[in-house]
Amino acid sequence: MGLPVLILLAIAWAAFLLPPIVRNRAAVRPGRSVNTFRHDLAVLGRATPGTTGRRSSLAGAARLPGTPTSRAQVRRRRRDVLAVLAGLAVFTLLLALAFGGPLILAHLLVDAALAGYVYLLVQLRKDAAGRPVPVRYVPPAPTVSHLVTVRRSVG
């Protein structure tokens, strides 16, 4: 009874870990030299004398490979993680019902991970809803007061 359980857990972990690894490796390979070049430029930009060092964490920082760059990618990744955790919770529930024993503990751990992730998603949503819209100060256009209007008279 112990060997089938281990095989099922290995399959579950492989289903959980392999798709993101394959996706990241496929996304990183074609532009690896470009990413390295951008990283080097970002390092040089931070090392330039006379800069204040005040950079946005998203705009100026070098990104890790596989890090989502747009809001849609972030949403998709969060949805995928939620789906994997929910699927893993159902899978471990079925294993716990079929075999019992220590699989009940495994199911409770997966449930705790799922509940914690949902809690974090709710907190992110609340923070985004309560955050004020960023407003940028735009200085007024310079007024030209030294110009003199010349009136032409036809005579």
Q: How confident is the model at residue 90 (pLDDT cuts 50, 70, 90)?
A: very high
The interaxial angle of helices 2-28 and 71-99, nearest 10 deg, is 170
Residue with tokens 């996706």: 23
pTM for the full model?
0.47
**In terms of C-beta density within 10 A (0-12 exposed, 13-18 middle, 19 or more buried), how is residue 137 classed?**
exposed
Q: How do residues 28-86 score in pLDDT, each as one tens digit?
A: 655 567 777 777 777 777 776 655 544 444 444 556 666 777 888 888 889 999 999 99
